Structure 1
Amino acid sequence: MMGAANRLSDSDPDLLAKMERIKAYGRIPAHIQPAQILRQAKWSLTVDRWIVENGCDASAIQCWRSLQDNFGCATCVTMSMMGEELMPSACEVDIMGALSMYALALASGAPPAILDWNNNFAREPDMCVCTHCGNFPKKFIGDTPEIGELDVLGETIGREKCFGAVKGKVKAGPMTYFRVSSDDRAGTLKAYLGQGEFTDDPYGMDGGIAVCRVPRLRNLMRFVTQNGFEHHVAMVRGHHAEVVNEALTRYLGWPLYDHDTAPEPMLVPRPPAPPLLKGLR
């Protein structure tokens, strides 16, 4: 992919159009150089073409740090712009996260995002801060974002290699969260689902920030950790859990924990562990 991006001509009409789309997508700080925007546009156009050629509905990209070291840009704005077109893309090659995002996109008709269950919010038991470096679609944030550099990685390898992070705080409103994961021992997929809200509470942190309120949040976190789910979760604006629940339980038959209807967290049913082979060291 990096090789294909490097082979693009600087005068390619599609490339010039992509540059203008990136400039119009958010506020770009004055210190960002035209060459950085050009490099980002080459990567974005290459990914777009690959998605179309391969008929992909969703994707997951190794978002750092090989791309930054070897090509010189982030991939956040690329993923954000695809998500805006309901072709979600998950960070850190999170295939199941991309599937979770795509399910929310189909259920809601709105751009989803992938976030980390990340920080406590002071001493509020039902609140937390969900973050990512900068891949949130613009409509998910609900406002015009800044397109700048990756802050954490930029301090390590140089900010000039890290342009392309979409930064903004998610506006208040209802939200749905969802996560599909694989259970290799049981030979099935498993999932959890629920609804909450984004709040307007301020939080001083860089990147994409979503201050969330989820009823019985500590019970949900107990379920997530004790059942081996990843820290990534897909979210979308609005309440759409009923549609997702219907699809999973009626048509797919995957084990599903619906946090809004389950009285208490429960373990996903698992088969007994296979016995160890005699003499195995």
Structure 2
Amino acid sequence: MKLGILPLGRPTFDVPFAEKNLSAMLTALEAAGAKVLGPRTLLFDAEATEAAIADLKRQEIDFLLLLQVTFTDASLTVAAANAFDLPMAIWAIPEPRIGGRLRLNSFCGLNLASHALGLSGRKFSWLYADPADDIAGELADLLSGKRVVGQLEGTIAATTSEAAEEVVRKTAGKRIARLGEHPVGFDTCAYDKANLKALAGVEVEELNLDTLFDAGKIADADDVEELRRTVDAEGLEDVDQTELDRSLRLKIALDGIRKDGRFDAFAIRCWPETFTEYGGAVCGPVSLMGEARVPCACEADVYGALTQLVLQEASGEAVFLTDLVDIDTSDDTSVVWHCGQAPLSMLAEGEKPLATIHTNRKMPLLYEFPLKPGRVTFMRISQAHGKPKMILAGGDMLDRPKSFTGTSGVVRFDTSADQVLTRVMDSGLEHHMALAYGEHRPLLKEVAAAMGLPVLEL
């Protein structure tokens, strides 16, 4: 077999660690007996990746393998898929849960890729495995096309209820402010305003990201100082104080925009411009807004904001829009994480929130703490495979130390970790799911029926 590889990465992650893992992946592929063609170094940008694609086309490869060494968006994955009418696979890798930064975030890249490829009906094989483990059998299956992604669809519940109808009525008429456009390659965050209005009766107003930045810059200094005094976090004095001030101003700005526009939720393009153009993180302010029952979705994820509104209404609890970043089948657990924006009511007992900086962009304010143990419900109003549906999961958040910096929790889903991993891939699920504490799936299934949405359970 002439195996063409594209090793994908981003320089904002731990490049030396990524290179070490890439070396191990190449060693495993060579041991599998394939003739490996293509670059042996990480491809960090479109120019390098497009050049590598052109080179592989000239070599007339038999099989295309994308090495998802770190997180990347799906744009180059889709470009590669479109360039070759060949069997294709993606190999992503876990990383140790040792409490430090999320050094690779490889699974999230696979998650984005599976959703984007699912929208176009492009079949691919996949593997999520450590190259240092004994994976010869799994790798052989991958390269022989035996691990092809499936396509799961849901079913509509037969009945609804007055409580579910009330959730739908209360959600209708809500207003979401979208601040900035979603990043390129984040097909998971794309939306159609008319379709969303028809589905849920929710309005979206599209605002420029400068609306947020300009409001932050003119925020009243006394209001900012008062907010600072109420921030419950250790180490507030240890972060850059100018950047902290800018970050807190974004909370004041969001409050003002919400009041002026009568908004109930936000979908915010949180990076890179909040760091590169404005100079402070919006993650901490998002945590504070969520605690105040004004959900905010990262990466301008409008359906993520809608998901939070529905789950918040159904649960009566604060919600957290999170990434699934690791699944460990040997431990039968998974890790949910986001940079540092979980509502403070999700703080584990006996822990104190730490004021910290964004691991990639190095600016405050973010919170760092492990999520408290307890029963949890996950939900996403999804557009997977181009068909609206509600995706649900239930599980127990465990009493475990934090896996990574930011806000994260170790969850044991009701179904096995192996099944969750497969069903995430086969469902084409977006990379954001909302979680709330408590068991809310029975009501949410009825809500889905009232909205005309099929339900798919992980």
Could you state the TM-score of these two structures normalised by the residue count of structure 1? 0.80
Matches within 5 A, 1:117-196: 117-121=324-328, 123-124=330-331, 126-142=332-348, 143-154=351-362, 162-182=363-383, 185-186=386-387, 189-196=388-395
Partner deviation per Cα, 1:59-91 (whole Å, 9 max, x = no partner): 111111111111111111111011101111111
Tell me how far 1:204 sits from its aligned partner.
Answer: 4.1
Aligned AA (1:44): K
**Distance across 2 between alignment mates of 1:121 and 1:223:** 14
Aligned AA (2:371): V
2:267 aligned to 37, 57, 60, which one? 60
Partner deviation per Cα, 1:39-73 (whole Å, 9 max, x = no partner): 22211101111012111212111111111111111
Matches within 5 A, 1:130-279: 130-142=336-348, 143-154=351-362, 162-182=363-383, 185-186=386-387, 189-216=388-415, 217-249=417-449, 251-259=450-458
**Distance across 2 between alignment mates of 1:221 and 1:140:** 25
Partner deviation per Cα, 1:141-169 (whole Å, 9 max, x = no partner): 34531121112222xxxxxxx11111110
Partner deviation per Cα, 1:215-236 (whole Å, 9 max, x = no partner): 2233233233223221211111
SS at match of 1:152: coil
Residue 216 (structure 2) pairs with residue 15 (structure 1): no
Distance 1:123 1:184, change over 3 A: closer
4+ residue segments displaced more than 4 Å: 183-186
**Distance across 1 between alignment mates of 2:282 and 2:411:** 25
**Distance across 2 between alignment mates of 1:245 and 1:75:** 33
Tell me how far 1:184 sits from its aligned partner.
Answer: 7.6
SS at match of 2:326: strand
Distance 1:98 1:110, change over 3 A: same
Aligned to 1:85: 292
Aligned to 1:95: 302
Say if 1:115 and 1:132, in contact at 8 Å, map to a contact too.
yes
**Distance across 2 between alignment mates of 1:96 and 1:102:** 10
Say if 1:86 and 1:109, in contact at 8 Å, map to a contact too.
no
Tell me how far 1:203 sits from its aligned partner.
Answer: 4.5
**Distance across 2 between alignment mates of 1:5 and 1:240:** 37
CA root-mean-square deviation: 1.9
**Distance across 2 between alignment mates of 1:55 and 1:102:** 15
- Comparing 97-106 and 213-222, the one that deviates more: 213-222
| Consecutive unaligned residues in structure 1, runs of 5 or more | 155-161, 260-281
**Distance across 1 between alignment mates of 2:397 and 2:391:** 19
SS at match of 1:151: coil
Partner deviation per Cα, 1:121-159 (whole Å, 9 max, x = no partner): 3722x31111111110001234531121112222xxxxx
Tell me how far 1:201 sits from its aligned partner.
Answer: 2.5
Distance 1:122 1:245, change over 3 A: closer
Aligned to 1:271: none
The number of residues matched between the two structures is 244
SS at match of 2:300: coil
SS at match of 2:290: helix
Say if 1:179 and 1:192, in contact at 8 Å, map to a contact too.
yes
Distance 1:204 1:118, change over 3 A: closer
Say if 1:140 and 1:236, in contact at 8 Å, map to a contact too.
no
**Distance across 2 between alignment mates of 1:52 and 1:28:** 31
**Distance across 2 between alignment mates of 1:39 and 1:203:** 27
**Distance across 2 between alignment mates of 1:86 and 1:8:** 22
Say if 1:174 and 1:196, in contact at 8 Å, map to a contact too.
yes
Distance 1:31 1:43, change over 3 A: same
Aligned to 2:180: none
- Comparing 222-231 and 62-71, the one that deviates more: 222-231
Could you state the TM-score of these two structures normalised by the residue count of structure 2? 0.50
Aligned AA (1:31): D
